[in-house]
Every structure is written in structure tokens, then in C-alpha cells.
Structure 1
Amino acid sequence: MTRTISAQTLLTRELLERRRPGYSLEAPFYLSDTVLQADMEHIFGKHWLFVAVEPQIPEPGDYVAIEFGSKSILIVRDDDMGVRAFHNVCRHRGSRLCESHQGQLGNIVCPYHQWTYDLTGKLIHAKHMGADFDPSEMGLKTVHVRTLSGLIFICLADDPPEDFEQMAAEMTPYLAPHRLQDCKVAAQVDIIEDCNWKLTMENNRECYHCVANHPELTISLYEFGFGYQPSAENAAEQQRFIDITNAACERWESMGLPSAEIERLDDRITGYRTQRLPIDRAGQSQTMNTEVASKKLLADFTDPALGGLSFWTQPNSWHHFMSDHIVSFSVLPISATKTLVRTTWCVHKDAVEGVDYTVENLTAVWNATNAQDRRLVEESQIGIATGAYQPGPYSPYTEGLVEKFCNWYVNRLNAHSR
């Protein structure tokens, strides 16, 4: 029997076979609707995606609706304080159940014909359906959901990658001391970038561009903290950073705060990386003066100078955990050339706005940085679309983590497109 190979599979295979290690991806990876279809099926359809933080749904009935591509997913806090995820689609005739990005529900009621579901997804009310209708067979379609120290991940696959459990075991000691579950959302900002989602992620995975483009961010972040490899050009500065980092990590480890780098970006299905790094100058937080943005510290911390714990996950997130606040980023494709970047800032649930913190100060660094990155990735998208673009070489000193992102992406597409 002859097997028909789709145009999507043929194009994807050709591009993957031509991929040159150490170089950026070919233009169709950033422009093609066909490649986006492969991304939605094999990357966003089969892997664990970061979508929200638990403080977004603190009480029973609280929900957030996550939209990406053609997908719409409800994340709901149930009456037992569990976190559940469902396709945001009524089982009757397919209406979207919740239009708003977030809100509060008693039950989940379809606006079309008022089919009603409880917070476990069970259908509890449907008028005029006849004696033979069995409501037990018409509950909402569930989505796999896991929480990791307050971070919410979903997976659309029937059989999600099992190595999430391994990541959770390794990361919980790093994340749990910050007690994200005991925080509240102080601010959330969505921006739409006119670029492919991979450009957004690649830009995040390097700081080659930081000094020239991010004056606000580099007040607090050392240039050498994110994947830099030793080079003769900056040997003395790099050694100084290594010495500062080693001394700080020794102190943090003695306080029960794991700090050593774990790098699993391209050798696991559920790829990730973490490391606690020192903050420059006052050394407290990612703010314009590097002092804490919130006087009410997280958890039971008493020392504000706990550095910044960075946590990156493939394919779509990065996070910074500090003594006083946590900032999380989720990247979700809208189309081949449009991407949603959602940034969420959390502070201690008892912190008082205007007393302990101001939203303006809390968000200043990353609002500025996000705007600058938006310009950079959109200019890259424009250049790639001109026809003059061809893949260029990554710097072996500053872009190794971009290469790891591309390796992970290419390996996962290869695994599913055969």
C-alpha cells in the first residue's frame, strides 16, 4: 500500500535535511504557513507549554483562556483548589465557551444554548435533549495540565512527554523557596510582535545584543550571565564575573537556595535550563536602581540580595525569580508572522500597591526591554522576508544557547515528521 506524504511533511523534511548546524534557520522556517502548521502539530501540539501562573486563578471558579493558533484552552481552579484544563469548546455545537481572557465562574455555561458544565468539566444541564441523551458522555474535552511550583503547563498530546516529572523533580528545589503560590499578579502586559515565534525565542536565548540595545536591563544583568563562552577578547571581565558568581552561589547554597546551572535545553524532550545569577550594583532585583521593587519580600526571605534565578523552558517560556518578585514570559504563535508575548509580574500576596511597590517601578525594566526586543525581532522578520536573507553563522562565544534552541526544535520536528 502506497503511503501519501503531505506537502507539509515534504517541505518540512527538505528544510530539516538541509539544516546546517551552527547557522540560523532557512527563511521558510520564519515565513511559511506550511511550516507553522508543522510547528502547531508537532511542537505546540505535542510538548509541555507554559501558559499561566497559579496566582492568576487564586480562587475556585477563577479561569484564564489561552489562545494560540486555532486553539482555545480554559485553565480553571476547581472547588477542591485543583487546576484543570479543558478545550474552550461546547460539546453541543462547538461554540466557544468563554470569550474573555480571564474571569470568574460558578459553572461553565455555553452562551449559545446554555449547556452547563461544572468546574470538573461534567455536563450538568442541557435542556430539550430527549430521553435517550446521556450527559455523562458529553463532558468537556480535557487537556493535560501540570503545575510546577506555581507555574502552569499544559500538553495537548494524548500521551504527553513523561520527562516532565524529571524536570519537576530537578527544578522544585530551585523554584519552591520563592513560593509563587503565595503571590498575587501585580501586572500583566500582552504585546503582539509582527514576527515568527521562533525569532522571539531565539532573541531571548542570547545576550549578544543586550549591551547595544537594552540599557535598562543591563543596569542589573551582567553581560556574561547567559551562555557566554570564554574568549580572549573579554577574558579578564569574564573571570571577574565567574569569581563574583562563585562567591554568590556559595552564599546562596548555604541559605538553602540551589544556584548551580542545570542545562538540558537540547538533550531532553522537555528541554530546560536554570541558574541563579548575581545582580549587578545593589544586587537585589531587576529594577532601574537594582534595589527591590517590593519592600514585602517573597516567602519568608529576609535578605533582599538573592540574585535572579532564571528558568527557561522549551519551546515557549522564560522566568526570573528574585527575592521580591517573579516575572514570567509566555510566547504563543498567532500566525506564521505574528506572536503573542505575555509578561506577568507577581509579588507577595500581602504586598500593598502604593505602599510596598508601584506597578511603574516593578515593570519598568521589562516593559522597556520588551519594546526594544519587539523592534529587533520585527526588523529581523522584515529582513528575512526580502529574499536577500540566507542563514548566517552563530557566534561560538555568545549564541550557543540559540543553537541549542534550534537543535531542540529541529530534533523534535525530525522525531515527528518521519
Structure 2
Amino acid sequence: MHSQPSEMLTQLIAAQKPGHALQQPFYNDGAIFKHEMQRMIMPHWLCAGHLSSLPRPGDFVTVEIASESVILCRGQDGEIRALLNVCRHRGSRLCTEPAGNARSFVCPYHAWTYGTDGALRSARLMPAEFDRDAHGLKQIHLRVIEGLIFISFAETPLGLVHVEEVMAGTAKPYGWAAAKIAHRATFPVKANWKLAVENYMECYHCSPAHQEYSRHHVFARPPAQNTEIDAKLRQRSVSLGVAICELDRYALHAEHGQETADALRSALTEGAVSGSEDGGPVAPLMGDFTDYDGGVTFFDVGPVSNFLAYPDHGLIYRFIPKTVDRTEMEVIWLVRDDAREGIDYDLARLTWLWNVTSIADKRIIELNQQGINSAFYEPGPYAPMEGGARRFVDWYLRSIG
């Protein structure tokens, strides 16, 4: 599945200045993008959504990554599968709806019909010797961890030891396995996927670009200013009996055979308890929380799946590479499964902060791509507050080689 890196890619990696942003071709060369999809995206575990989107047999959602499309479906037997959205006859896209409920999937081209388990049920007018059993839909690997659905296109996927370790100390105490999707939004970004991920990984840009976020999140400040308030956050969590981990398992898969994962805790400003316009609560408390601890937890899995959790709601950030200069950011808001819209939470209030933040991110990431496309672009050094972006780039360079 993996192609060998080209001579150009080898030269670019050798010429990369430590501690600096990537060179221009990493962000706008189509051949490098194709190599990334084969080596950096498809072999990794990718968050495809939340289990609550498939409550009943026959429920399905379609998920797209670059040129690939996957049908996530709960079969009539109750099992969830990741079916490749490619008819086994002549390759037509099979399912054209983003979500729904079905007892079967019928190809719009020649009407081959597949069950929700992917088995070929009918192939009209085929000869008697045709083997239907050999022409079911292809499946890729799927795992559900604390309510989150992960898929991998790899023939032999990476191990999930690090991911399970991080999830047990993050998604689990926040009750994500018993959550539901309150809202989802997609932001198309005219930029390379790595620019979107790098932007998410650092908060050097937060003060100038995200005044709404910076108002209540100390993560927008230099780390040296946050030592005391973050220590108080940990004390509050302990007093509530909520055990939330901080781990860095951003290991090289080539060395360890495990998917990367990490978790970081950060405090909110004095008096703020959640990610909202005024810092106040937005939904019922989740998981192990009996009160607010005044903090937020960030955690990441693999190259493009990122999450953040407040005591009363959570967010899934999916960065979806489409082409070398097109990316989609899908944001999914989670609340407790019994929370009622309009009664227990107001949707506009719940989604306000990360809606305005994502809109601003879209703008600055696109401006970043426009500047990088200039003939005069020269990679500059990362600032101390861009440690997460630098770590991501270092990992990328070692992995892409």
C-alpha cells in the first residue's frame, strides 16, 4: 500500500530546518499529498463519529476521507461495520445519502443489492455460476472506544494501547460513551490539511485571532503564567473524585506499532466553568462530574482526530483531507444522552463558542495557505507557544520519510 518517497521528498526532508515551519511543497504539491494519503492518513485510526448516530439496526452514515467513502452501518444483527462505498460490480458509488435507515443498499447503476452486513443479496441477471458470496462489500477495520467510532484503511492496523489508555482517562470520566450528538457542522477550508492541524495544535494565534475563546481559556496565555491556576484545577478535580489523565503518547508508529494519542488539561479563568460566551454552564453535567471543576481537557488520536471535553459538553474535531489544498473541518457537539434540546440546553448557546472559533480558524488557515503559495514564502521559526505544532511537524517528517 505504501509507495516509496520521491527524490524530491527525500531532499525536502534532508533540507528541513529544525524548529521551522515546513517548506512550500509540503503544503501545495499534489504528489506529496498523494503519498501522505497512502502513508499518513489511510493507515492510521481516524475518528468517524459517535456511536449515538447509529442507535437502531439499519441506521447508517457515510464518511468521506480524500477520495474514499465509507458506509458506517448497524446491521440487522446489531453489529456496526465500516463498509467501503464501492459496488463490487463495476465500482459505482453505492450509497448517495449522508445518513438514514435502510434494510439494504441498492446500487443506482445496475441494482446490485447488498444487506446491511455488506453481503451481496441480489445481482440481477447474472449467470447461475456467479458466486454472490465472493462479491460482498469490502470492509475496513472499525473499533468503538468510549462511544467514539474509529476506522482504519490499513490491512494490519496500528495497535490501540495508547489510545485506550488516553480514552480511559479522558472520554470515560466525561461520560462520552453515554453521550449523544447535539449538533454537527462542517467548515470547508481552502488549505492543506496540515495547516488546519497545526493551527489546532497551538494557541500562539489565540489572543489575536480568538478573542472569544481567549476570554475564558488560560491556554491562550503563555504557559508560565498558568502554573498556579492549572494546579488549582487539578486540586478541584481530585476533590470531586474525577480522575482525568494527562499523557503524551505521541509515539512514532514505525517504532512502536501503536497509534499516537495524548491528553492535556487546562484551566478556565476565574469564575468560568464551561466553553460558552459568558463562561457559564450550557448543558447538564456529564460522566463522573457532580460539579464543575473549572477546566477543559484536550486529547488527540492519530494525525487528524482531535477532541475537547468540558464537564457539561464535548467536541469532536475531525480534519478531513480532500485534495492538496482543500480540507473539511467537521465539528460535532456532544451532550448527555438524556439532555433535551430547548429544555436542558439551548443549541445556539451550546454551539456559540466553537462556531465562531471555527469560522475564525477557517479564515486564518486560508490566509496561511495563500501566503505559503507565494514565490517569496520562506519557512519561519516556531514560537515557544507553538510547541504542539512543532511536535506535530517533527512527527510528520519522521513518519512521511
Q: TM-score, normalised by structure 1?
A: 0.89
How far, CA to CA, are the matches of 1:337 and 1:245 in structure 2? 37
How far, CA to CA, are the matches of 1:261 and 1:201 in structure 2? 20
1:249 paired residue among 218, 234, 255: 234
Shift of 1:70: 1.2
Give the match for residue 107 of structure 1: 104
Q: Does 1:390 align with 2:378?
A: yes
Q: Which amino acid aligns with 1:244?
A: I
CA 1:62–1:339 in 2, change beyond 3 Å: closer, same or farther?
A: same
Q: Does 1:145 align with 2:142?
A: yes
Q: Which amino acid aligns with 2:267?
A: P
How far, CA to CA, are the matches of 2:231 and 2:183 in structure 1? 33
Q: Does 1:43 align with 2:31?
A: no
How far, CA to CA, are the matches of 2:125 and 2:93 in structure 1? 21
CA 1:80–1:245 in 2, change beyond 3 Å: closer, same or farther?
A: farther
Unaligned runs of 5+ in 2: none
Give the match for residue 306 of structure 2: 318
Give the match for residue 164 of structure 2: 168
Give the match for residue 91 of structure 2: 94
Cα shift readout 1:362-401 (whole Å, capped 9, x = no counterpart): 1111111111111111111111111111111111x21111
Secondary structure at 1:112 match in 2: coil
Q: Which amino acid aligns with 1:261?
A: E
Conserved in 2, the CA contact under 8 Å of 1:314 and 1:405? no
Cα shift readout 1:51-79 (whole Å, capped 9, x = no counterpart): 21112222222212111221111111223
Q: Which amino acid aligns with 2:370?
A: I
Q: Percent identity, aligned pairs only?
A: 33
What pairs with 1:321-332 in structure 2 (closer than 5 Å)? 321-332=309-320
Secondary structure at 2:155 match in 1: coil
Shift of 1:266: 4.7
Give me the CA root mean square deviation: 1.9
Conserved in 1, the CA contact under 8 Å of 2:170 and 2:299? no
Cα shift readout 1:170-218 (whole Å, capped 9, x = no counterpart): 4223211222232221111101111100000001111001011101111
Shift of 1:11: 2.2
Q: Does 1:32 align with 2:29?
A: yes
Shift of 1:300: 5.8
Q: Does 1:356 align with 2:319?
A: no
CA 1:253–1:305 in 2, change beyond 3 Å: closer, same or farther?
A: closer
Conserved in 1, the CA contact under 8 Å of 2:189 and 2:328? yes
Give the match for residue 61 of structure 1: 58
Q: Which amino acid aligns with 1:110?
A: C
Give the match for residue 338 of structure 1: 326
How far, CA to CA, are the matches of 1:367 and 1:283 in structure 2? 19
Conserved in 2, the CA contact under 8 Å of 1:265 and 1:272? yes
Conserved in 2, the CA contact under 8 Å of 1:283 and 1:305? no
Conserved in 2, the CA contact under 8 Å of 1:195 and 1:381? yes
Unaligned runs of 5+ in 1: 231-237
What pairs with 1:231-242 in structure 2 (closer than 5 Å)? 238=225, 241-242=226-227
How far, CA to CA, are the matches of 1:116 and 1:264 in structure 2? 43
How far, CA to CA, are the matches of 1:247 and 1:81 in structure 2? 45
Q: Which amino acid aligns with 1:246?
A: A
